[in-house]
Amino acid sequence: MRYISCLVGLLFTCALFAQYDYPVYETDKLPPAEYSKRREAIRQRMAEGSIAFFFTNETMVRNNDVDFLFRGDSNFLYLTGFEEPDAVFVMTKDPFTLNGKSVREALFVNVANANSITWLGYRMGPENAMKLLGVEHAVANSEFASALPVLMQGRTTVYVSNAPAGGRDTLNRMSQAVTTVLTEAKITPARDVRTWLSQMRQIKSPAEIAMLKKASEISALGHVEVMKAVRPGMREYELGALLEYYIKKNGCEFVGYPPIVGSGENSTILHYQSLRKQMKAGEIICMDAAGELRGYSSDVTRSFPVSGKFSPEQEAIYEVVLKANEAGIAKCRPGVTTGAVGAACSEELAKGMIALGIIKSANELGRYYMHGFGHGIGLDVHDPMPGTLAPGACLTVEPGIYIKAGSPCDPKWWNIGIRIEDAILVTEGEPVNMSKAAPKTVADIERLMAR
């Protein structure tokens, strides 16, 4: 009887997986052909007879049996579009044979089973990975160790793009296996592939730009909702929660980074995180928050008054920062260096701060403006960007002024932190402000908040 029960269970499980079809909920992801084109561009730069290994992240424990929400390595996503943990992608210049099939690339992934579907949800698995992502070959990651000697046979040049978890020290069993083989063979892994990927990611494709435009617009409209809702007595975390609700309600899977919502003295902290303070009338809020859509993150910051109306001092600093923001955006054109964009921002900030009597010379600006003008955006919220701008570059322009209590200036300026950040697309002509839906003039902000 026990044997019959086990047999019935086995037949049921087999029937379950015979019918198993990986669900696809989003239809606007990048097409497989785009990933294939990227992989071919890397392959063309590889040495003859070489092999490249690309690892994604593992799941990371938050506490006890609770994991952090998984997010894959960006270079891995860029080449494969595969979003699950514990995977490795292998690519060669010349064909190799795996499971009787001659291929130049293989994706090693977790497989679906009764336990994973019951407890964790759907896994794409090898067959679906080939069908949905367009990779030449995909197999279970449990086969990686046994396949490694075949993959490494005769290889003298081995590219390793990264260790899991963004290059940190933690290694999964697959990357550790590669490290062991390389050590035993006395092969030093080549890192050139990291540079190649960084160069490729500097200029976005039309499909990537569409993602960033949508993520930026959703994020900007989220800032609008926050401005309309804020009242004295609310906590900073309420604004972060409202923004996160809005962007997820409108299609973003995640926030691109933990929201920064600092009021009063906290507005002067660049990456303020605790969000516990109760906001008071008369304080300024610096809110840096944006959504991530299909892996692509925007980055938007707006500064606005808790009570809906800027004080004279807040308005004066705000106008200085706004002029710098607009000057930087105007420079975002083909052929312009990022240094020139940064210089335009700094010049306006210094000029405005000198006019207000807060500093005496441009050399003192660093006391109140201690970061760069911006950065690239894409699969990482701080994505690679070209040193000289070109059409398809996507970046932020985010000048700011942060005056902490105790600063060597009139106390009326203390506890004012203002940053204005927009997501910009470089085109053949005028720069496109992808986050323009969030108002940023004093008049527009006060008008919106008065409603």
Active site residue 371: yes
Active-site residue, from 38, 302, 333, 419: 419
| CA-based radius of gyration for the chain | 25
Residue 59's contacts (CB-CB under 8 Å, 6 or more residues apart) are 67, 68, 70, 85, 86
Active-site residue, from 173, 271, 410, 430: 271
Active site residue 419: yes
Active-site residue, from 318, 368, 402, 422: 402
Token look-up 């944006």 returns 290
132 near 109, Cβ under 8 Å? no
Residue 206's contacts (CB-CB under 8 Å, 6 or more residues apart) are none
Active site residue 137: no
Active site residue 86: no
Active site residue 421: yes
Active-site residue, from 26, 65, 184, 428: 65
Backbone angles phi, psi at 376, to 5 degrees: -70, 160
Backbone angles phi, psi at 396, to 5 degrees: -105, 155
Q: Which residues of 414-424 are buried (b: 16+ CB within 10 A; e: fewer)?
A: bbbbbbbbbbb
Active site residue 451: no
* Rounded CA separation 110/92 (Å): 22
Active site residue 380: no
* Rounded CA separation 200/341 (Å): 22
Active-site residue, from 86, 105, 236, 288: 288
Among 27, 42, 24, 116, CA closest to 80: 42
Active-site residue, from 83, 84, 236, 398: 398
Active-site residue, from 105, 208, 244, 299: 299
Active-site residue, from 22, 313, 382, 446: 382
DSSP secondary-structure letter at 261? E
Active-site residue, from 292, 326, 383, 421: 421
Helix, coil or strand: residue 120 = coil
Active-site residue, from 43, 155, 194, 371: 371
* Rounded CA separation 58/63 (Å): 15
* Rounded CA separation 142/130 (Å): 17
Active site residue 299: yes
Active-site residue, from 159, 375, 380, 422: 375
Active site residue 382: yes
Q: What positions carry a catalytic annotation?
A: 65, 271, 288, 299, 371, 375, 382, 398, 402, 419, 421
